[in-house]
Every structure is written in structure tokens, then in C-alpha cells.
Amino acid sequence: KAGVTQTPRYLIKTRGQQVTLSCSPISGHRSVSWYQQTPGQGLQFLFEYFSETQRNKGNFPGRFSGRQFSNSRSEMNVSTLELGDSALYLCASSPGQGPSEAFFGQGTRLTVV
């Protein structure tokens, strides 16, 4: 069974630009969650999508948005990039109903210059 796939693995963008990250969950999983990891703030929850609907949202500004497609693949978009957005962005997939472990992808390392 294929794991969670995130693309691209590395990205360098300039301040003010926008970026789109992609996540393909494990087959059969309907929930995709996104997290940001920075040295100072640790792993922080961005949002969760389930069956194409945002089900949970963390405390991030509106520049961070996402969506989920009918095949459960998800994208995350960050507009008007700031230097502080440099981080490892992780997505996790899970079946989506009831308590279960979330499986993470390798992450996308975003550097904003």
C-alpha cells in the first residue's frame, strides 16, 4: 500500500509570491490534515479536510487555505508569502471516522527569500 505522497519536496519562493503544495493520501483515507513545523513553534495544525469539506481549522491567517478533491487528494495554498512562512509543511492522512493513527508524508520544505 502506497504511503502519503507530498510534492514537491523542496521549494524556494520570493516574498510576496504564492505557493501551492500537494498531498496524496493513502488509498481509502478520506481525511487529510496539514501541519506546519518550525524550530520555534513546533508542529502546528493548519486545517483538516474530510470528504472535500474543511472540518477543522487551526489558528493561521487567511493567507493559508486548502482544498480537497473528490479522490481525497488535497492542496494547500499560501498567498503573499512572508519570510516567517519558511517551514516544513506536512500532511497526514487517516480514515477520518473515529480515533485512528494519522500517517504523515515526507513533507515539503518551503524556503521564502
Partner 1 sequence: DQQVKQNSPSLSVQEGRISILNCDYTNSMFDYFLWYKKYPAEGPTFLISISSIKDKNEDGRFTVFLNKSAKHLSLHIVPSQPGDSAVYFCAASDGAGGTSYGKLTFGQGTILTVHP
Q: Which is nearer to partner 1, 62 or 99 (CB)?
A: 99
Rounded Cα–Cα distance for residues 75 and 65 (Å): 9
Q: Does 45 bind partner 1 (CB under 8 A)?
A: yes
Q: x/- string (CB under 8 A) for partner 1, residues 6-35?
A: x------------------------x-x-x
**In Å, how far are 17, 21, 67, 80 from 86, measured between CA atoms?**
13, 13, 21, 13
**Residue 72 interacts with partner 1 (CB under 8 A)?**
no
CA distance 57 to 16: 24
Count each helix (H run) and each strand (E run) in the chain, helices first: 0, 11
Kindly identify the residues of this chain, within the stretch 48-67, that bind partner 1 according to CB under 8 A.
48, 50, 55-56, 58
Task: Choose between 85 and 93: whose C-beta lies nearer to partner 1.
Answer: 93
Chosen residue from 42, 62, 83, 113 binding partner 1 by CB under 8 A: 42
